[in-house]
Amino acid sequence: MATKLTTQDHSRDVAGLTYVYPVLSRRAGGVSVGINFNVNNACNWRCVYCQVPDLSVGSAADIDLLKLRKELYFFLDYVDSGRFYSDFSVDPKCRGIKDISISGNGEPTSLTSFYEAIEAIKEVLESTSKIGQIPLVLITNGSLLHRKGVRRGLALWGALGGQVWFKVDSASLTGRQIINNTMMAVEQMMDNLTFAAQNCDLWLQTCLFNYKEKINFDDELRAYHMFLQSARAKVDIQGIYLYTTARPSLQPEALAISPMQGYQLDRVADSIRRLGFKVQVSY
């Protein structure tokens, strides 16, 4: 037996591969096949709750597209054979691939060859007859969707039936500075949301946690509601995914943040549902 998958451990090298890794995902509700473009642990944001070790500010390094193809071929066959489930002690209730998710240790759209990487994934899915059989998810902070190569890749992702899960942890500039360490303006976020929704089914993904010394929760919630109401007039949002921290942050702020309690998450979820949005919650 190699190890046992849990929702608390999202190690990127658990399967001994470079770009492909399995996780038990709270978001997906079971096994998610992760694809990590940011093997150098670099991201253009630095979220205070981030669990990536030795995180650096930067972009994804060039990747070996042939190796990406080979690893994805291997892993899909590994799962199809049933050996993966026994090797990793996967509970029978969680078996079956819930999605293939481009996520990993940084912002995936910072990869220079993002379009080519999407092409490589497409080739594997076509040759294994899995297009339309497994949901496809791109998890992104959305800050680089204005780039030409990213837009080409996103259009191809949408043609494959891929979804975009767009990070919106805060709808205020102050909140984004404190939580994500970014100066991204709400206007840029809205433009990128619009492009994403024109090409793919769009979900918003929001991490909620206690950080009382820095964040006024009620002010943040009001700004979030206003943002959602404004966004609804421009883009088709499939739903909102709310979650809290499940694994320890590896950032300097780690001791100052803590998971949000279930009743707090429910309060936020109910307030968003009253605005007419579908909400999914992970505790």
Residue 190 lies in a domain: yes
**Among candidate residues 77, 197, 180, 183, the one with its CA nearest the CA of residue 138:** 197
With respect to residue 200, please indicate whether it lies within any of the assigned structural domains: yes
**Which backbone phi and psi does 46 adopt, to 5 degrees?**
-135, 90
- Tokens read off for 152: 């080409």
- Sequence-distant (6+) residues with CB within 8 A of 52 are 41, 43, 105, 106, 250
CATH number at residue 51: 3.20.20.70
Instruction: Give 172-175's long-range contacts (Cβ < 8 A, gap of 24+).
Output: 172/219, 172/220, 172/223, 175/215, 175/220, 175/223
Residue 191, domain member (yes or no): yes
Question: What is the Cα–Cα distance from 184 to 200, expressed in whole angstroms?
Answer: 22
CA distances to 106, 165, 174, 224 from 57, rounded to whole Å, are 9, 22, 20, 26
Dump strand ranges (E) for the chain.
Answer: 20-25, 30-36, 42-43, 56-57, 97-103, 136-140, 163-167, 201-207, 209-210, 237-243, 258-259, 279-282
State pLDDT tens for residues 129-156: 999 999 999 999 999 999 999 999 999 9
Both tokens assigned to 92: 């029978």
- 160-211 tens-digit pLDDT: 999 999 999 999 999 999 999 999 998 999 999 999 999 999 999 999 999 8
1: in domain = no
Domain that holds residue 130: 20-282
In the chain the first and final C-alpha atoms are separated, in Å, by: 29
Within a domain: 8: no
Domain presence at residue 9: no
For residue 2, pLDDT beyond 60: no
**CA–CA gap between residue 98 and residue 20 (Å, rounded):** 15
Question: Does any domain span residue 3?
Answer: no
- Mapped onto helix, strand or coil, the DSSP state of residue 206 is strand
- pLDDT at 216 (0 to 100): 87
Q: In the structure, what pLDDT confidence band is assigned to residue 11 with cuts at 50, 70 and 90?
A: low
12 within some domain: no
Nearest to residue 69, comparing CAs of 5, 128, 112?
128
Q: Is the pTM of this model over 0.75?
A: yes
What pLDDT digit, counting tens, does each position of 97-117 carry? 999 999 989 999 999 999 999
Query: Which position has the token pair 């038990």?
Result: 24
Q: Which residue has the tokens 């998958």?
A: 5
| Confidence class for position 95, pLDDT limits 50, 70, 90 | confident
Structural domain count of the chain? 1
Q: How far is 274 from 213, CA to CA, in rounded Å? A: 29
